[in-house]
Amino acid sequence: MLAVSGLTFAFKRKPILADVSFTLADGQITGLVAPNGTGKTTLLRLLCGLLPISQAHVLVNGIDQQQKHTQFLKQLFFLESSSNLYPDLTVQDHLRYVKRVWQSPVDIGETVASLGMQSYAKTRIKRLSLGMKQHALLAMYIVSNAQTMLIDEPLNGLDPSSIQQFEAMFRQLREEGKTLLVSSHQMDSVGRVCDQVFFLKNQKLDVLPNDGQDMMAEYTKRFLTEAS
């Protein structure tokens, strides 16, 4: 479970978040939606401690981000983008390293097979397409076996069949009891996978449980109407 309280953040004079509090339960997928530049990635960075949270409290399974930072990070996996992978290392190198650092019992071979990555598991990252790198990134999340996964726009550069594959993986992780916070612009996918959606607007989170409503319409209502 991820619990956040009193989270406020600003880049110099630009406010991003104002006294945001929320809780993410185990076995739940939460979508994080907002137009570009609103602060989705900033929120994810704050949650894992890459940016200072000052007086706020962020806890994963009761472990405080600021008091027991290393233990806190053990409960969580976040890698902003597949462009942050090491270009000279192979997919397998990354997976082995994640498995060791997170002391995970997840089998690398099985994960690679389940994502259809056998043909390029031993290829260096710099030789992979964006879609392949996104697969490698998702595989790292799975292999980490972290309780909480913060995933930033995972569907970028994916073809429709890969998107379906990713959605199936997210559902499987939910079934395993993982907590997923997934930022995305793919509203149809958000509607298919997420249990609830956080719309980030005016430095606040507008929480919408997913009851099967049209998420694109919800997005339009919150962001595009105002713009037009």
Partner 1 sequence: MFAQLKFDLKKNLFSSTNAVVYVAFVLLLLTTFFLALDQTDSTARQVDGAYQAALQSVTGTIKTLEKDHAKTAKQTAQLNQKYTQRDYLQEIMTLNASVSSPVPMNTPTQLDGALLKYARYNLKKTRQGQTNGLVLINHPDRPTDSTVLGQQKEVTFYRYLALHHLRELPLTQTDVPSDAYLPFQFLRHVSPLLILGVFALQLGQLFTTEKRTGTIRFMNNLPVNKLGLLTARMGTFLVLTLPLFGFALLTVYLIVGLKFGWGNWQYPLVYSPDGRHVAIMTMAKFMGLLILILLAAVLFMMMLSALVSLLSGNFGVNLAVSAAVLLLGTNQVAGSSMGRGVVRWLPSGYFDFSGVITHQTAWPILSIAGGIVVLLAWAAALYGLCALIVSRRQQL
- Return d(Cα 174, Cα 50) in angstroms, integer: 25
Instruction: Read off the amino acid at residue 99.
Output: K
Interface pick for partner 1 out of 26, 64, 93, 195 (rule CB under 8 A): 93
Q: C-alpha distances in angstroms, 94 versus 34, 68, 131, 137, 154?
A: 30, 25, 16, 9, 17
Is residue 100 at the binding interface for partner 1, with CB under 8 A as the rule?
yes
Is residue 70 at the binding interface for partner 1, with CB under 8 A as the rule?
yes
Query: What ranges make up the beta strands (E) of the chain?
Result: 2-11, 14-24, 28-33, 57-60, 63-64, 76-78, 148-152, 179-183, 196-201, 204-209
Stretch of 15-23, 65-73, 181-189, 217-225 contacting partner 1, by CB under 8 A:
65-73
Q: Which of residues 124-153 bind partner 1 (CB under 8 A)?
A: none
- Return d(Cα 121, Cα 52) in angstroms, integer: 36
Q: For the window 45-64, what string marks contact with partner 1 as x by the rule CB under 8 A?
A: ---x-x-x------------
Interface pick for partner 1 out of 40, 74, 133, 178 (rule CB under 8 A): 74
Q: What are the strands of the beta sheet with 196-201, ordered from one edge? A: 76-78, 148-152, 179-183, 28-33, 196-201, 204-209
Residue 21 beta carbon to partner 1: minimum distance, rounded to whole angstroms: 21
Interface pick for partner 1 out of 15, 87, 109, 177 (rule CB under 8 A): 87
State which residue, 69 or 204, has the beta carbon closest to partner 1. 69
Interface ranges with partner 1 (CB under 8 A): 48, 50, 52, 66, 69-74, 76-81, 83-89, 93, 97, 100-102
